[in-house]
Amino acid sequence: MYGTRVKTLQDSISEKKLDAFAIIPSPTMFYLTGLSFHLMERPVVAIFQPTEQPILLLPNLELAKAESTPIDFKFLVYGEDEESRTRAFESASGALGHVQLRIGIEPLRMRAFELDLLKTALPESTFVPASEVITKLRIIKDEGEIEAMRSAVSIAESAMNNTLPLIRNGMTEQELAAELVVQLLRSGSESEVPFSPIVASGPNSALPHAVPSERMLQEGDLLVIDWGARVEGYISDLTRTFAIGEIEEELAQIYHVVKAANAAGTNAIRPGISCSEIDQAARSEITAAGFGKYFIHRTGHGIGLESHEGPYIREDNLELLLPGMTFTVEPGIYLPNKGGVRIEDNVVTTQDGGVSLSTFTRELQTIS
């Protein structure tokens, strides 16, 4: 599998008229090689060329781990001293032929640190942003990837089912977030959960990216919880909104509008439709109900090894959906100082439509 991915990447490198593609530890490195390293002061750089043997430059202490990859790398290792690190970069330059090369990088990932070391070792070469070399591969998920995401969704749902009975009036958002993280780990999420859960109650629920606070849950609150699990590197990213006791009529109304928008977005999914049309399908429900100006973000984002990847479900994105694309549908309405509602599902584009990986109820649940 990794071998096929690297081969496809190599074809993509030549198609884009690049001589090489250089990456540091990132979801892309994991996708291509199965290897993950912590980013630190000891650089790790992988360099792929259209036909040559790929290079992995890394510190000695990571070699044993690196050898577990099925990719046939030429390993260039260095010790704790700067001189041996410089020599490793020079060897990389030698292996690349010391010539003027156009080397693609991922601008959102490559650090100034590794880029400077590469530029010093390859002064004749130019480094160009080339995310598209890899994004077009990663954006289409295979069965194995979808299966991992399905597990990540089901772990997140069981963590929520275990957390709900523990929610009490008077509990703080932080206490609830901590409990949810424990339940995510107990339900089988990898220890690196994809993001810290958002737990936002009352007026805080009107902030899409609220950070859990010391605020205590109160009767009449809307409670937005945005959470996810990770399996084999793949993530889930769900949101549900609950009512604490009895809520105002207007809050119940926006709940039902968002629920309809979520359904409209999901129902619109099929290959060949644009991301923009999915956004419009969800957004038009909210606009028609008179809450358009309170839906202050895009309808969704791609999901896979990251929660920020394509396809972006935005009004201005004319990219067409293809089978295997996975993304979130997460419309919301946020009434300042009153409360907000978001309902987020994870969906996969199939040959003839779209399927939600999440099955957690979208009916308004009241916690008393």
Residues forming the site for Zn ion (CB under 5 A): 226, 237, 239, 328, 344
In angstroms, the CA 42 to CA 47 distance is: 16
CB of 277 or CB of 344, closer to Zn ion = 344
Minimum distance, C-beta of residue 212 to Zn ion, in the bound complex (Å): 14
**Count of other CB atoms within 10 angstroms of residue 275:** 26
In angstroms, the CA 330 to CA 202 distance is: 19
Q: Output the CA–CA distances (angstroms, integers) from residue 48 to 6, 64, 95, 302, 357, in the order listed.
A: 8, 21, 11, 25, 34
Evaluate whether 110 touches 22 at the Cβ level (below 8 Å): yes
Give 155's DSSP letter: H
Q: State CA 342 to chain mean position distance.
A: 18
CB of 18 or CB of 193, closer to Zn ion = 193
Preceding amide of 43 cis, omega within 30: no
Minimum distance, C-beta of residue 239 to Zn ion, in the bound complex (Å): 5
Of the chain, the end-to-end C-alpha distance in Å amounts to 49
Minimum distance, C-beta of residue 252 to Zn ion, in the bound complex (Å): 22
CB of 71 or CB of 321, closer to Zn ion = 321
CB of 239 or CB of 358, closer to Zn ion = 239
Helix 82-96, helix 112-121: angle, nearest 10: 60
Minimum distance, C-beta of residue 227 to Zn ion, in the bound complex (Å): 8
Minimum distance, C-beta of residue 128 to Zn ion, in the bound complex (Å): 30
Minimum distance, C-beta of residue 300 to Zn ion, in the bound complex (Å): 7
CB of 13 or CB of 278, closer to Zn ion = 278
CB of 237 or CB of 309, closer to Zn ion = 237
Minimum distance, C-beta of residue 147 to Zn ion, in the bound complex (Å): 20
> 303: which residues sit within 8 A by CB, 6+ positions away?
149, 235, 236, 237, 309, 326, 327, 328, 346
CB of 118 or CB of 210, closer to Zn ion = 210
Nearest to 156 by CA among 357, 331, 365, 303: 357
In angstroms, the CA 155 to CA 152 distance is: 5
Max CA pair span of the chain: 71
CB of 126 or CB of 359, closer to Zn ion = 359
Minimum distance, C-beta of residue 342 to Zn ion, in the bound complex (Å): 8
